[in-house]
Structure 1
C-alpha cells in the first residue's frame, strides 16, 4: 500500500509540474556546464617568472588570492589581457582584475547576446560563454560593503537573459537591483547565474541533477568571496535556486539562507541542511509552486515545503506577493524582510 501511495505521489508530481505551470515553454534537457573555464590549457602552459600559475581546477580560492597578492600590478594586468576568461572566473582573484577580465572576455566572444554585459559601469564578477552562458554581476561596492547578499535564481536563467527586458524586479539582475535599493548602500548584492538552470518545466526541474552541479559551483563562489575579504553572504534562493542552496548549504559560510517560491531544498527539515545559517522561507498566496507536491521519490521532487512548520524555517510574510516572481517587488512585505536580512538585521 505504501509503495502504491508513493507511485501515485510521483505521478501527481509530474502532472502538477505541468499543470501548475501552464504557458511555460516546453522543457529541454540541459547538460550542466562544469569544470575549469575555457582557456585553462593555455593558462597552465604559460608562466610567471619564479612561480607556476594556479590550476583553476585544483587551486583553492585562498591559494589563488595568495598568488595574486605576490604579483606586481603590471604582471597581474598582463595575465588579464592574455587570459581574460580564466582570470575572470578565478574565485579568489582581486575583484577589479576580475571585472576587467570579464569585460574583455565578453568582448572577445563577439556575440550579440552577451554584448550588454560589457557596457560601461557593469561589474561582471564571473562569465562563462559555454552552453547558454553563465554570469555573476555585482550591484554596489563589493570591496567596501558591510554586508553581501547573493541572489540564486531558478529555471530559465542564463547569461544571455540575465538582464533581459521582462516584468520589473524579476530575473536575476532585476531582483538584485531591487534588493540593493531596499537594503541600502552598505549592502552589495550579487546576481549569481553561475550554474546551468533548467529550461521550462520537465525532468530537469523535477530532479536534482543540475542543482547538484550548481551547488558545487555556488560553494566555491562563496569561498572566493571569503578569500578576498568580503563579509559572509546572505543567500536568497528563488524557486529551483533554493534546491541549489539546499545542497550547497553545508559547504558555505552563509549567515542566512532564504528560500522563496521554493519546490523544496532536498531536505526534510532545517537540521538536514547541516548549516549554521539562519534559514528563512516565503511563499506567496498565488505562487503556482504551491501546486507542486512536496515529495521526493525515485529521483523526482525536492522534499518538504520549506514554509511548513515541520521544516522549521523562519517564516517571512508574503501575503501581498503576486505570482511566482513578485517577491522583490517594491512595497511588498517580502522585499522589506529580505532587505532587513541582507543588511544584517532581524536578529
Structure 2
C-alpha cells in the first residue's frame, strides 16, 4: 500500500513537471563538465619527451600509470611544470605528482573561491576550475593506507561549497574529515566532488543526467586508485551522490557501498546494482528525503528507497543523526558504523 501510494505521488510529480507548473522549479539547470582536463590539447601536442603522451581523453588509468612508471623523476617533473592542470587530474598518475600539480594550478589561479584550497598542507587530488569547479581532497596518508574510503556528495556542492563553514557535515570535506577522525591509523579518506551536481530541487535533481556523467568520472577515480596500487575503497554516497554511486556500482571495484539520505539508486534492489560490494543504507527518521517519492516514472525519480527492507541493503543505525546532513556528525551512531565499515568491519 505504501509503495502504491508513492507511485501515485510520483505520477503526480511527473505530470506536474512535464506540464511545466511549479513542482520542481526551484533549481537551476546545469550542464555537466565532462571530457579530459583543461590543457589537454597542449599536452597532446607536446613533444618535449620525444615520445607520445597518453591521451587524457582515451587512455585508461592503467595505461597512464604504466606511462608514468617508465619516466624518470626529471621527466615527470618536466610534465608537471608544463602541464599542471593535466597531471593533477589524470587518473593513474602518481599521487604525489598530482598533489604538487594541483597546488601549482591553484596558486596560479586568481579566483577568490579557490583561495582556501591552496592553503599549505592540503592534499588536492583533483582540481578542475571549469564550470562551478570540481575538487577532490585526501585526508590521511593515501600511499600507506590499509583502508581507503571515498565520500561522494549530493546537490549544491562545487569548488565554492566544498568545505563551507555552514552545514559542515553536508559538505564533502566535512564528511571526509569527520570519517577520517573517527577511524584509526592506517586509514585515508578522499572527499570527491568530481562531478557537476544539481543546484536546488529542479529537474536535474529529479533526473539522472548529471548522475550518469558523474558515474563515469567516479569509476575512473577508483580505477586510478587501483592502477596506483592502492586498496579497493569503501564508497560513501550522500543524497544525489547515491544516484551517482548506483549507476557506477558495477564498475567501482569497491569493498562496500554505503548510501545515506538516498533518493534512490536507479536500481530496483541490491541485485540490480550488479556489484560484489556489500551494500549499506542509512536514513534518519527526521530526514526530509523520506518525503520524496522513491519511484521512477517517465525518467523522473530514482527508484526504490535503499533503506527499505525489500531493497536488500544492510541497515546502518542512524537514530541520532539529525536531518538530511547529520549522518557524519561526531558522536552519532551512524558515524561510528561508517568508521567500522571503513575499517573493514561490521560483517
Q: What TM bracket, shorter-length normalisation?
A: over 0.9
Q: What is the Cα deviation at residue 13 of structure 1?
A: 6.7
For the residues of structure 2 that align with 1:262 and 1:119, how far apart are their CA atoms? 33
- Paired residue for 2:20? none
Q: CA RMSD in A?
A: 2.0
- Paired residue for 1:10? 11
Give the number of aligned pairs.
339
Q: What is the Cα deviation at residue 116 of structure 1?
A: 1.2
Q: 1:101 to 1:256 in 2, by over 3 A?
A: same
Residues 130-169 of structure 1: pairs in structure 2 closer than 5 A: 130-169=130-169
Q: 1:311 to 1:14 in 2, by over 3 A?
A: farther
For the residues of structure 1 that align with 2:150 and 2:251, how far apart are their CA atoms? 15
Q: 1:85 to 1:79 in 2, by over 3 A?
A: same
- Paired residue for 2:28? 28
Give the conservation status (yes or no) of the 8 Å contact 2:243–2:266. Answer: yes
Deviations 1:127-166 (A, max 9, x none): 1000000000000000000000000000000012111111
Q: What is the Cα deviation at residue 185 of structure 1?
A: 2.5
Moved more, 335-344 or 45-54: 45-54
- Paired residue for 1:53? 53
For the residues of structure 2 that align with 1:169 and 1:291, how far apart are their CA atoms? 21
Q: What is the Cα deviation at residue 167 of structure 1?
A: 2.8
- Paired residue for 2:81? 81
For the residues of structure 2 that align with 1:204 and 1:14, how far apart are their CA atoms? 16
Deviations 1:42-97 (A, max 9, x none): 00000243421000011111111111111111111111111000000000000010
Give the conservation status (yes or no) of the 8 Å contact 2:317–2:333. Answer: yes
Partner secondary structure for residue 189 of structure 1: strand
Moved more, 166-175 or 179-188: 166-175
Moved more, 29-38 or 39-48: 39-48
Partner secondary structure for residue 310 of structure 1: helix
Gaps of 5+ in 1: 17-21
Moved more, 224-233 or 165-174: 165-174
Give the conservation status (yes or no) of the 8 Å contact 1:30–1:198. Answer: yes
Partner secondary structure for residue 71 of structure 2: coil
For the residues of structure 2 that align with 1:213 and 1:333, how far apart are their CA atoms? 33
For the residues of structure 2 that align with 1:160 and 1:199, how far apart are their CA atoms? 13
Q: What is the Cα deviation at residue 121 of structure 1?
A: 0.3
When normalised by structure 1's length, the TM-score is: 0.94
- Paired residue for 2:104? 104
Q: 1:123 to 1:25 in 2, by over 3 A?
A: farther
- Paired residue for 1:126? 126
Give the conservation status (yes or no) of the 8 Å contact 1:127–1:133. Answer: yes
Q: What is the Cα deviation at residue 9 of structure 1?
A: 2.5
Give the conservation status (yes or no) of the 8 Å contact 2:6–2:293. Answer: no
For the residues of structure 1 that align with 2:177 and 2:99, how far apart are their CA atoms? 18
Give the conservation status (yes or no) of the 8 Å contact 1:61–1:223. Answer: yes
In the alignment, is residue 189 of structure 1 matched against residue 193 of structure 2? no
Q: 1:234 to 1:25 in 2, by over 3 A?
A: farther
Q: 1:123 to 1:255 in 2, by over 3 A?
A: same
For the residues of structure 1 that align with 2:85 and 2:266, how far apart are their CA atoms? 33
Q: What is the Cα deviation at residue 286 of structure 1?
A: 0.3
- Paired residue for 1:265? 265
- Paired residue for 2:37? 37
